């Protein structure tokens, strides 16, 4: 009985002892007099406020609506069937390398989808290409990367994810070309048919993307260029896109016209009253769209629920990640807990060592969806090179220690080890090349 007691209570006792020792030796005087600790606290709050003002309303929330629409109006089964064993290899790799942006899968949902593809008879190469590109080119991540870290990094991330997913898939298929595919238990993928023509879905998604693009259009250096002209009329273009969306809701989604007219009138009045603060009528439009979708039965209600599901899952983790990034790394030009010289020494510049360290850390560290962006933003502000930043972006979302452990159960340790090695190597090389030519 005594031995059983200690086996059962040893762990709680150890935690109590550790907690007591921490309290006993707590360096209160040092913490009170430490300017770095105070800076870390304020930097966390400053970064959180900046992120909320600059990115959440105009970029993140509309992106949630896009992701929710993708989940409802794009059939996963209709995309995955192009990865089958009888599919054209060019078509299979092409679909696999971009399907992440269509399906909007995260690192959690890509693994069962990958298992289903693998079991359905898809080649190892296309299946691995899908596994890598799925989380890496998540539509939310690409939009936020371009908005927060710059268009060049956003384009490089999307392009690198597509190109390297194909290369990694081809290399994996060649290395294991003599092995038989393992049989994996099927996942439940319903065979759904779209309720409207393809061109209507294309116009619908194009309108949603136009709203995000125009609302977040940055002021270019060349005021007389086409980009400068678009910036001048960005809110007019955003409003036109909003009117098109309202018409789509009425005629294609069968939302009650009087409700759409009421929301449109409110947004128009807010625009007339707060024309110099466009974020206010834009926020009113977001609230109005949410109300319309939540009070319309059928696929509109599903669209709202999927969008809310993304927001509910991602927003808390994202805000916590921003607080952590601010406390540890601060804003660009401001010191927090981690001295900037530590960062610059480890991943500063564009050396092979810096890119490899960033890629290997990204491969094993777990990033909740989108939290890698503010963390890397803080690292860049503390001295991280742009090449290592891209390497971390390409390795981080596609892999983590938990996903590696799950993947081992699907394809075995050998294939998993080769896949992880290829991801780290590709991310390192991509960061090295990007830093050399574009940073």
The DSSP annotation for 403-439 comes to: HHHHHHHHHHHHHHHHHHHHHHHHHHHHHHHHHHHT-
Which has more pLDDT, 99 or 359?
359
What is the SS3 assignment for 348?
strand
pLDDT > 90: what percent of the chain?
A: 23
In this prediction, residues 78-97 reach a mean pLDDT of 71
Distance, in Å, from the CA atom of 434 to the CA atom of 429, rounded to the nearest integer, reads: 8
Question: Which stretch of 4-8, 258-262, 318-322 has the lowest confidence by average pLDDT?
Answer: 4-8
pLDDT of residue 147: 80
pLDDT of residue 181: 45
How far from 74 is each of 122, 235, 255, 384, CA to CA, in Å? Answer: 20, 29, 20, 38
Bridge partners, 348 (sequence order): 384
Question: Which stretch of 40-54, 93-107, 193-207, 312-326 has the lowest confidence by average pLDDT?
Answer: 93-107
What is the SS3 assignment for 16?
helix
In this prediction, residues 53-58 reach a mean pLDDT of 80
Residue of 327, 329, 332, 339 whose CA lies nearest to 37 = 327
* Residue 92: pLDDT over 90: no
Distance, in Å, from the CA atom of 279 to the CA atom of 56, rounded to the nearest integer, reads: 11
What is the SS3 assignment for 278?
coil
In this prediction, residues 123-133 reach a mean pLDDT of 85
| HSE toward the beta carbon, residue 72, CA cutoff 13 A | 26
Which has more pLDDT, 72 or 283?
283
pLDDT of residue 64: 83
Where b means 16+ CB within 10 Å and e means fewer, 183-192 reads ebeebebeee
Which has more pLDDT, 380 or 263?
263
* Residue 159: pLDDT over 90: no
Distance, in Å, from the CA atom of 385 to the CA atom of 434, rounded to the nearest integer, reads: 10
Q: How confident is the model at residue 287 (pLDDT cuts 50, 70, 90)?
A: very high
Q: How confident is the model at residue 257 (pLDDT cuts 50, 70, 90)?
A: very high
Which has more pLDDT, 87 or 172?
172
How far from 70 is each of 93, 94, 283, 291, CA to CA, in Å? Answer: 21, 19, 22, 19
Element (H, E) at 282: helix 279-294
In this prediction, residues 141-153 reach a mean pLDDT of 81
Distance, in Å, from the CA atom of 267 to the CA atom of 289, rounded to the nearest integer, reads: 11
Query: Any residues with CB less than 8 A from the CB of 278 and at least 6 apart, and which?
Result: 235, 238, 271
Distance, in Å, from the CA atom of 12 to the CA atom of 25, rounded to the nearest integer, reads: 20
* Residue 192: pLDDT over 50: no
Q: How confident is the model at residue 321 (pLDDT cuts 50, 70, 90)?
A: confident
Q: How confident is the model at residue 408 (pLDDT cuts 50, 70, 90)?
A: confident
How far from 334 is each of 338, 372, 378, CA to CA, in Å? Answer: 11, 20, 10
Q: How confident is the model at residue 427 (pLDDT cuts 50, 70, 90)?
A: very high
Which has more pLDDT, 186 or 325?
325
């Amino acid at each position: 009985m005594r031995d059983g007691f200690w086996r059962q209570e040893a762990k709680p006792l150890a935690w109590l002892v550790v907690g007591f020792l921490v309290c006993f030796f707590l360096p209160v005087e040092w913490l009170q007099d430490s300017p770095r600790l105070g800076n870390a606290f304020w930097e966390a709050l400053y970064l959180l406020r900046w992120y909320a003002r600059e990115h959440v309303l105009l970029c993140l929330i509309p992106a949630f609506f896009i992701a929710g629409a993708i989940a409802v109006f794009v059939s996963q089964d209709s995309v995955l069937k192009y990865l089958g064993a009888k599919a054209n290899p060019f078509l299979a790799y092409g679909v696999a390398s971009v399907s992440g942006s269509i399906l909007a899968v995260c690192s959690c949902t890509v693994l069962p989808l990958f298992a289903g593809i693998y079991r359905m008879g898809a080649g190892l190469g296309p299946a691995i290409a899908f596994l890598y590109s799925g989380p890496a080119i998540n539509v939310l991540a690409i939009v936020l990367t371009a908005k927060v870290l710059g268009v060049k990094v956003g384009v490089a991330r999307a392009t690198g994810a597509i190109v390297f997913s194909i290369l990694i898939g081809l290399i994996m298929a060649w290395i294991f070309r003599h092995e038989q595919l393992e049989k994996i238990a099927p996942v439940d993928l319903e065979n759904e048919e779209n309720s409207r023509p393809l061109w209507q879905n294309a116009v619908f998604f194009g309108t949603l993307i136009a709203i995000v693009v125009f609302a977040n259009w940055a002021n270019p250096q060349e005021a007389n260029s086409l980009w400068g002209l678009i910036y001048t009329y960005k809110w007019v273009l955003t409003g036109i896109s909003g009117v098109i969306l309202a018409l789509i809701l009425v005629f294609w989604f069968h939302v009650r016209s009087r409700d759409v007219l009421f929301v449109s009138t409110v947004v128009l009045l807010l625009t007339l009253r707060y024309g110099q603060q466009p974020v206010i009528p834009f926020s009113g439009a977001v609230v109005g769209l949410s109300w319309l979708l939540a009070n319309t039965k059928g696929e509109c209600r599903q669209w709202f629920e999927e969008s809310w599901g993304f927001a509910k899952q991602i927003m808390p983790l994202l805000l916590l990640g921003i607080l952590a990034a601010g406390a540890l790394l601060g804003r660009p030009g401001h010191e927090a807990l981690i001295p900037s010289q530590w960062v610059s020494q480890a991943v500063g510049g564009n050396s092979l060592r810096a890119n490899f360290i960033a890629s290997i850390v990204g491969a094993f560290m777990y990033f909740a969806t989108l939290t890698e962006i503010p963390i890397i933003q803080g690292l860049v502000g503390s001295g991280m090179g742009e090449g290592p930043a891209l390497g971390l972006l390409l390795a981080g979302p596609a892999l983590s220690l938990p996903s590696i452990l799950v993947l081992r159960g699907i394809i075995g340790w050998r294939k998993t080890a080769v896949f992880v090695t290829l991801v780290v190597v590709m991310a390192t090389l991509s960061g090295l090349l990007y830093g050399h030519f574009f940073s």
